[in-house]
């Protein structure tokens, strides 16, 4: 069910606000939009050959638009930058049956962290042997399903999982596993997405000996084949140096394992967390530089330790799908509160909780009409009953922004659909794929009837 677009109302048009002397480049900068983005007459944009204003009219707002070619291009970029590595797409960033098919066709593996992601990918025909199951608190159902479907690897995240996986595998079975190690590396764009340091819920510490103890226990389980070590140090990392530090520490651990147990590992999984630019001018991780730095560090560290160089595994999610997505919103109200200009839209923290959770910054852009108005500073807020429901704080928009206008928010492909909720009983938006001038619905809008059907207690 789509929503009819609202229309401009003179009553809540923006009051005059101080204009900047020169329109800054940000108002017309398309550098963080998908590569296929093109300018159209009357201030509109197209992505994948499809006009965004037309998509808003056809599917209603809010709506997520996903450029298939951008996703595929970024998969190929990873394969070119890391030709000898196994590249796994991190499904938690965004997963649908179509996305699983694109990833499969581009030759990537898949990193899943729940039975839901696993079953959806399997239903889409994704080969289970190219999947890896993650999670700091895997349920027995998660593990049973992974074993039944033949998942390629299970990443051990806690000591209790070792016996559980072995028992569920059974005496005649054999399951490949990795052990997630916390290497003591602090990296990431916000403290809530830094996962390489002690004192958080993921993995087994290198510094207190729990990683070494878990590895010894895994090696003692005949049902389990330990193929290597795994780490994930954080998200939105824009510098290769923390990954190099993690390599050195993990190779040091591998050397101790060889000395103590006579075992060498064929794989080393360095996770993902590769940072992308959400706004023009933001830093992003240089994949070519990362690949070069990791290769050199791994070769040097392994040579010094007398170890064979393991095959690298990486797990990008956001870096593949975030820049391929654009979220479209309709402006519902514009008002001044003291010195602040608030632009309220028909979505909010239910379809993008990232600004509220860890201060993510976005750059909304007016589309669908032309304007010669100079820019004003505004805060784009959502419709939910929370003061923290802010989508974009202190951004520049045209001074004549008004109700009925459309805003396009780029870099919306990751951790928006997958983290969306139905807060205030507002249904989750649809996802529309664009490709070669056509648009098709991937995930339909969640309707009020969907929400009512879940409530069975009357």
Question: Is 386 marked as a binding-site residue?
Answer: yes
How buried is 127 (Cβ within 10 angstroms: 0-12 exposed, 13-18 middle, 19+ buried)?
middle
Helices (H), 196-282: 210-219, 241-261
- Residues in Cβ contact with 323 at an 8 Å cutoff, skipping those fewer than 6 apart: 32, 34, 70, 74, 276, 410, 411, 413
Closest residue by Cα to residue 331 from 283, 293, 364: 364
Contact 96, 443 (CB under 8 A): yes
Question: Is 410 marked as a binding-site residue?
Answer: no
Catalytically active residues are 385
- Tell me which long-range contacts 110-118 makes (C-beta under 8 A, separation of at least 24): 111/272, 111/315, 111/317, 112/151, 114/142, 115/139, 115/141, 115/142, 115/145, 115/146, 117/91, 117/92, 118/142, 118/145, 118/146, 118/149, 118/151
CA 418, distance to chain mean position in Å, is 8
Question: Is 119 marked as a binding-site residue?
Answer: no
Contact 60, 5 (CB under 8 A): yes
Question: Is 317 marked as a binding-site residue?
Answer: yes
Question: Is 415 marked as a binding-site residue?
Answer: yes
- Tell me which long-range contacts 379-382 makes (C-beta under 8 A, separation of at least 24): 379/340, 379/341, 379/342, 379/343, 380/329, 380/343, 380/344, 380/345, 380/407, 381/342, 381/343, 381/344, 381/345, 381/348, 382/344, 382/345, 382/347, 382/348, 382/349, 382/350
Element (H, E) at 407: strand 406-410
Helices (H), 26-158: 52-59, 68-81, 97-105, 115-123, 140-149
Q: Is 303 helix (H, G, I), strand (E, B) or coil?
A: helix
- Residues in Cβ contact with 435 at an 8 Å cutoff, skipping those fewer than 6 apart: 48, 49, 67, 68, 69
Buried b (16+ CB within 10 A) or exposed e, 291-302: bebbbebbeebb
Question: Is 74 marked as a binding-site residue?
Answer: no
Question: Is 64 marked as a binding-site residue?
Answer: no
Contact 411, 405 (CB under 8 A): no
Contact 28, 408 (CB under 8 A): no
DSSP β-bridge partners for residue 120: none
Helices (H), 306-360: 318-321, 354-358
Residues belonging to the binding site for substrate are: 318, 354, 358, 386, 415
Residue numbering of the annotated binding site for pyridoxal 5'-phosphate: 273, 315-318, 415
Binding-site entries: 273, 315-318, 354, 358, 386, 415
């Amino acid at each position: 069910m789509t929503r009819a677009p609202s229309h401009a109302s003179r009553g809540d048009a923006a009051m005059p606000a101080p204009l900047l002397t020169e329109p800054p480049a940000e108002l017309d900068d398309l550098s963080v939009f998908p590569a296929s983005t093109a300018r159209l007459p009357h201030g509109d944009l197209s992505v994948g050959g499809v006009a965004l204003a037309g998509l808003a009219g056809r599917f209603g707002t809010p709506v997520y638009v996903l450029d298939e070619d951008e996703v595929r291009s970024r998969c190929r970029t990873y394969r070119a930058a890391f030709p000898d590595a196994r590249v796994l797409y991190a499904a938690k960033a965004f997963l649908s049956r179509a996305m699983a098919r694109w990833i499969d066709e581009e030759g990537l593996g898949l990193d899943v962290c729940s039975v839901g992601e696993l079953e959806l990918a399997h239903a889409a025909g994704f080969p289970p042997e190219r999947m890896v199951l993650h999670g700091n608190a895997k349920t027995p159902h998660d593990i049973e399903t992974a074993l039944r479907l033949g998942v390629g690897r299970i990443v051990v995240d806690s000591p209790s999982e070792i016996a559980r996986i072995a028992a569920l595998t059974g005496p005649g079975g054999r399951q490949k596993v990795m052990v997630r190690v916390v290497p003591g590396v602090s990296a990431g764009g916000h403290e809530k997405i830094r996962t390489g340091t002690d004192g958080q819920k993921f993995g087994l510490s290198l510094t207190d000996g729990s990683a070494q103890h878990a590895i010894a226990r895994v090696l003692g389980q005949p049902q389990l084949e330990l193929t290597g070590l795994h780490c994930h140090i954080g998200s939105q990392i824009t510098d290769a140096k923390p990954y190099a530090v993690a390599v050195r520490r993990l190779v040091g651990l591998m050397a101790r394992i060889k000395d103590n147990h006579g075992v060498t590992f064929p794989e080393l999984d360095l996770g993902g967390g590769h940072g992308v630019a959400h706004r023009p001018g933001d830093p992003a991780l240089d994949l070519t530089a990362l690949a070069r730095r990791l290769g050199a560090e791994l070769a040097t560290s392994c040579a010094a330790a007398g170890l064979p160089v393991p095959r690298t595994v990486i797990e990008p999610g956001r870096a593949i799908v975030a820049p391929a997505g654009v979220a479209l919103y309709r402006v519902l109200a514009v008002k001044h509160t003291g010195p602040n200009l608030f632009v309220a839209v028909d979505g909010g923290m239910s379809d993008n909780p990232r600004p509220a959770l860890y201060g993510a910054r976005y750059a909304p852009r007016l589309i669908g009409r032309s304007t010669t108005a100079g820019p004003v500073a505004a805060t784009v807020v959502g419709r939910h009953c929370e003061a923290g429901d802010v989508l974009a704080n202190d951004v520049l928009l045209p001074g004549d922004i008004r109700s009925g206008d459309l805003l396009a928010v780029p870099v919306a492909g990751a951790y928006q659909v997958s983290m969306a909720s139905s807060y205030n009983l507002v249904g989750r938006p649809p996802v529309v794929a664009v490709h070669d001038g056509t648009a098709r619905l991937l995930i339909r809008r969640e309707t009020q009837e969907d929400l009512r059907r879940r409530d069975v207690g009357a």
